[in-house]
Amino acid sequence: MHTRGAVTRSDLVGLTGLNRSTIKGLTADLVAAGLVRESAPIGRGGAGRPSITIEPESDNVYVLALDIGVEHLTAVRIGLGGIVLDRRGLRQSVGDYGVRRTLRRLQRLAGALLAGAGSKAVCVGIGVGVCGVVSTDDGVVRFAPNLGWVDVPLRDLLARSLDTSLRIEVGNDGDLGAIAEHLRGAGKGLSDLAFICGEVGIGGGIILGGRAMRGVGGYAGEIGHMSLNAKGRLCRCGRRGCWETEVGDEAVLLATGAPAGMTLDEVLKAYATGERWVQAGMRRVGRSLGLGVVNLVNIFNPELIVFGGATRHIFAALEPLVRDALAQALVAPGEQVRLELPALGDDAIAIGAAELAFRPLLGDPIGALAGLTAKRSPRT
């Protein structure tokens, strides 16, 4: 129900292989716990008895999802079933990311957001996506070059600043975006895809054989730091010519020589309307974006590459150049890949973070709910 939405009892019988009376008993338990609701059958479609529809209580069972980017902070309430209920966000300017300041801002956003939840609503967990290399076991951000964070114990700091004992899961933004687009977005039903996201930097997540690629320490998928140009610009990771120095929004501003204070949107508009000063720089960015895509295609043979975050706008502007570059990919994997925009828009990372936070509830709904009574919810 969490992934499919409303289902009938007969659907559940078919999906689980359990018999009708067992399903009836189990759904009754979930209804009593306030996790799902049953609705009377509508009409009498076709032959047989109309079946009762069961759907998640999305408004009343939710997680708090936080998305920490270089240029934005977002807090989203996401209901059971992956439904976005409400969000609060703010833009932040480059270089303005002290850990304490970020925590204060998140506390304010989360407080305002949670104050809007109904009195019957229960927060069952907290999920956080951050644009950096994350140790998921302990929620420590090992390295977020574009935030300037090194070994920040984000999980513990958030627990203190939100004054909560709820479980907090922290993940890399690209990994979470990939999980969300795979489960609910452009990659629904596919087994192999790559998700690209980013603003100043470029992050990513890879789904291989239906599962998120982790690597031995959970740090895999840092595609923004593929080394593409040994003579390129210095990257914030300390090396030279990483992909993100050539294709992120900062790279677009630098490559086009945009005047100080000009935004990515304005540069993309200038390109679209044919202003001459942006053309050469934008073509360079388009070729680099294509080059990285070719590498992803050759290494992972994905069926789909999704362009999220700021790359959504950059790809949309430069799509013909990226598709031209794709001709350089090896023939077979190059033929198989589709390039698309995310179906979940800017919410992909928060929705992926919510999936982490929903896991304990999905694994043991009644047990997890019972455990919550001893927990302290975040302050509003």
Report the DSSP beta bridge partners of residue 140: 135
Q: Counting contacts by CB under 5 A, is residue 88 touching Zn ion?
A: no
CA distance 292 to 288: 6
Q: Which of 245, 336, 352, 233 is nearest to 288 (CA)?
A: 245
* Residue closer to Zn ion, measured from CB, 13 or 237: 237
In terms of phi and psi (left: phi > 0; alpha: psi -120 to 50; beta: otherwise), the region of 5 is: left
**Among the candidate windows 124-132, 150-158, 242-250, 352-360, which touches Zn ion by CB under 5 A?**
242-250
In terms of phi and psi (left: phi > 0; alpha: psi -120 to 50; beta: otherwise), the region of 311 is: alpha
Counting residues that bind Zn ion (by CB under 5 A) gives 4
Please state the closest distance from residue 257 (CB atom) to Zn ion, in A: 22
* Residue closer to Zn ion, measured from CB, 141 or 168: 141
Please state the closest distance from residue 130 (CB atom) to Zn ion, in A: 17
Task: Give me 310's structure tokens.
Answer: 């700021």
Q: Counting contacts by CB under 5 A, is residue 235 touching Zn ion?
A: yes
Residue from 9, 88, 225, 312 touching Zn ion (CB under 5 A): that is 225
* Residue closer to Zn ion, measured from CB, 235 or 354: 235
Q: Counting contacts by CB under 5 A, is residue 304 touching Zn ion?
A: no
Q: Counting contacts by CB under 5 A, is residue 321 touching Zn ion?
A: no
CB 42 within 8 A of CB 50: yes
**Among the candidate windows 102-110, 229-237, 271-279, 366-374, which touches Zn ion by CB under 5 A?**
229-237
**Among the candidate windows 223-231, 298-306, 346-354, 366-374, which touches Zn ion by CB under 5 A?**
223-231
**Among the candidate windows 126-134, 233-241, 262-270, 290-298, which touches Zn ion by CB under 5 A?**
233-241
In terms of phi and psi (left: phi > 0; alpha: psi -120 to 50; beta: otherwise), the region of 246 is: alpha
Task: Give me 137's structure tokens.
Answer: 């076991």
* Residue closer to Zn ion, measured from CB, 159 or 242: 242
* Residue closer to Zn ion, measured from CB, 200 or 267: 200
Q: Counting contacts by CB under 5 A, is residue 242 touching Zn ion?
A: yes
* Residue closer to Zn ion, measured from CB, 87 or 233: 233
* Residue closer to Zn ion, measured from CB, 12 or 235: 235
CB 191 within 8 A of CB 178: no
**Among the candidate windows 161-169, 228-236, 269-277, 337-345, which touches Zn ion by CB under 5 A?**
228-236
Write out the DSSP string of 108-175. HHHHHHHHTS-TT-EEEEEEEEESSEEETTTTEEEEETTTTEEEE-HHHHHHHHTT--S-EEEEEHHH
* Residue closer to Zn ion, measured from CB, 223 or 344: 223
**In the structure, how many helices (H) and strands (E) does the chain have?**
13, 16
Helix, coil or strand: residue 227: strand
**Among the candidate windows 12-20, 219-227, 330-338, 363-371, which touches Zn ion by CB under 5 A?**
219-227
Q: Counting contacts by CB under 5 A, is residue 237 touching Zn ion?
A: yes
CA distance 174 to 309: 10
Please state the closest distance from residue 245 (CB atom) to Zn ion, in A: 7
* Residue closer to Zn ion, measured from CB, 63 or 291: 291
Q: Counting contacts by CB under 5 A, is residue 61 touching Zn ion?
A: no
Handedness of CA 148, 181, 166, 138 (dihedral sign): negative
- Given the rule CB under 5 A, which residues bind Zn ion? 225, 235, 237, 242
